[in-house]
Amino acid sequence: MAGKAFLILADGWQAEGVSVGAEGTVWGEVVFHTALTGYPEIFTDPSYWGQILVMTLPHIGNYGTAAEEWQHEKPMIRGLVARQVSGFFSRAGRAVGLPEYLRMHGIPAIAGIDTRALVRRVRQKGAQNALLTTTPPTQEMWEKLIQYPSMQGTELASQVTTARPYTVGEPSGLRIALLDFGVKKAILDQLVQRGAYVGVFPAYTAPEALQAFEPQGFLLSNGPGDPAAMPQAIATVSELVKWGRPILGICLGHQLLSLALGVPTYKLLFGHRGSNHPVKDLRTGRLYITSQNHGFAIDAAELERHPDLILSHINLNDHTVEGFVHRHLPLQGVQYHPEASPGPHDSHEVFDEFMAAVRLQAVLPSR
């Protein structure tokens, strides 16, 4: 028989449900995701480090989870909230049930609560810290919740980045140096599929070490936390910009590129997390349905005032910035996730555009 679990938000909202994961107590920022499928990819996305994730779909877990879907070797969410989690699953191949998977990795989860009411609360009051526990809440737990650091001002990339450099792809390919702030496996796959030889480097690698790889382009990956709390990474990106080689920033990487160019970021009320967010490419008028996962955005007014940057993509739900390009340098940032995983493949061409710029760089005379 399943035991009880409890969820308490920092503003006092609380719910009691059943435990469908590991036993224990966790604190983190509570956020929600609206995807209908793809929970194995979502739960293993390093961008969710430090967060308690609410799935808006009423029922998840019916197809278990398998290694080929994982974006990291282990789940990266702090805790899970769902209306119902299936204890049974059905699929071909090797897989494990979702409750078993969560228990294996020590992830507490609560089910049997009104997730619609919870999501409405988060939309109205904003993403906030929460407590998820499988034991009756205590005053000590509540006090820790009140004192728990806000996501704003918190650096987390150092907790999810690779410990040492490694490479993927064929050495004969175009050389891309990727700064790993919490990279998803799908981003590496997209680059390798396009003929890249990718050197994956820890988040705070010095520019000189990146230069030693002799890259023809740079990719700044996705990741968790507040980009403004990463001055060392911003300084590194500023140096990379001076070298004039193609740079693609994705999600957190997009924000770091923006900050390196002098355009500030800010925290969204509840963020964008889902696989059906409409984005418009202002250069072509084309619309994309995109996968998204971010709690920060770049300042649209400051971007449009920047003499060298062009707003290239907007979110059609709230008109926040979804992308920019540089007028003179081969620099591009996209807030959404062109690799998807999960989500539609509409925007895979972002990688085509980046690799085309890298190929052009490869044939130009060295500076």
All residue ranges of the chain with pLDDT < 50 are none
Q: Which residues of 240-279 are buried (b: 16+ CB within 10 A; e: fewer)?
A: bbeeebbbbbbbbbbbbbbbbbebebebeebbbbbbebeb
For the stretch 299-308, pLDDT in tens is 999 999 999 9
Annotated active-site residue in 29, 69, 322, 339: 339
Annotated active-site residue in 72, 155, 251, 313: 251
Are the CB atoms for 218 and 303 separated by under 8 Å?
A: no
Q: Which residues, in sequence order, are bridge partners of residue 9?
A: 130
For the stretch 123-162, pLDDT in tens is 999 999 999 999 999 999 999 999 999 999 999 999 999 9
Residue corresponding to tokens 């770091």:
256
Domain 157-363 has CATH 3.40.190.10: no
Q: Which residues contact 105 (CB under 8 A, 6 or more apart)?
A: 22, 74, 75
DSSP H or E stretch at residue 130: strand 128-133
Q: What is the rounded CA–CA span in Å between residue 254 and residue 332?
A: 8
And the tokens for 324?
A: 């920019």
Known catalytic residue at 251 = yes
Are the CB atoms for 334 and 348 separated by under 8 Å?
A: no
Whole-prediction pTM? 0.96
pLDDT of residue 2: 76
- How many residues are listed for the chain in this entry? 367
Report the relative pairing of strands 174-180 and 196-202 from DSSP bridges. Answer: parallel
pLDDT of residue 1: 57
Q: Where are the beta strands (DSSP E) in 34-78?
A: 51-55, 59-60
Q: What are the boundaries of each domain within the chain?
A: 4-147, 157-363
Residue type, position 161, single letter = T
Known catalytic residue at 348 = no
Q: What is the rounded CA–CA span in Å between residue 349 and residue 265?
A: 26
Out of 3.40.50.300, 3.90.220.20, 3.50.30.20, 3.40.50.970, select the CATH number for domain 4-147: 3.50.30.20
pLDDT of residue 361: 82
pLDDT of residue 366: 56
pLDDT of residue 365: 61
Q: Tell me if the bond preceding 342 is cis, omega within 30° of 0.
A: yes
Annotated active-site residue in 33, 294, 313, 337: 337
Are the CB atoms for 65 and 90 separated by under 8 Å?
A: no
